[in-house]
Amino acid sequence: AKDYELRQYETAKWVSTVVRGETQKEAMRQGFWKLFHYIQGKNEKEMKIDMTVPVTCLVKSGCTDFKISFFVPFEHQDSPPQPTDSDVFVEERKAAAIFVRSFGGFASPEKYAEEAEALARTLRNRGQPFHEDFFYTAGYDSPFKLFNRHNEVWYFKK
């Protein structure tokens, strides 16, 4: 469709952390640094791992827990090094069909919420069944990239 796409994602491993009771912006900041330390070698193999995109954040309706995740690079999917920080874990996300809405600029939690609501409205209007109780934000750019930024919101298809 012109305002969203439906993607099929394969089963894959992500390294994640959950930040509780903070604003989404603060949770993203704290979570990013925990995961960044993991890829910089704070893991059992003391191995540096390439930074990947997107950085995702799971947002659940009415909940102040946010799960921040980095995609595990393809060369480490079979056996990612285990985190040494007890707040960081490797998880396997099952294959899924995901509705995606893309947008540019610097994304704030408010902008992500606005885009997620626009996507939800479009999906409801088109009769597309999706899990409405949560969505993911996906950021693809370094904070230092000023132009042509790429952000997404994801809803999982039912």
> How many Å apart are CA 145 and CA 151, to the nearest integer?
12
pTM metric for this prediction: 0.96
Task: Say if residues 49 and 35 touch (Cβ distance below 8 Å).
Answer: no
Residues 6 or more apart whose Cβ sits within 8 Å of residue 25: 108, 109
Helix axes 109-125, 24-39, angle to 10 degrees: 100
Task: Quick: pLDDT tens for 78-119.
Answer: 999 999 999 999 999 999 999 999 999 999 999 999 999 999
CB 91 within 8 A of CB 13: yes
One digit per residue, pLDDT tens: the chain, 158 residues?
A: 889 999 999 999 999 999 998 999 999 999 999 999 999 999 999 999 999 999 999 999 999 999 999 999 999 999 999 999 999 999 999 999 999 999 999 999 999 999 999 999 999 999 999 999 999 999 999 888 999 999 999 999 99
pLDDT at 143: 83
CATH of domain 5-156: 3.20.80.10
Backbone angles phi, psi at 141, to 5 degrees: -120, 150
| Three-state DSSP class for residue 157 | strand
For residue 99 the two structure tokens come to: 């509705």
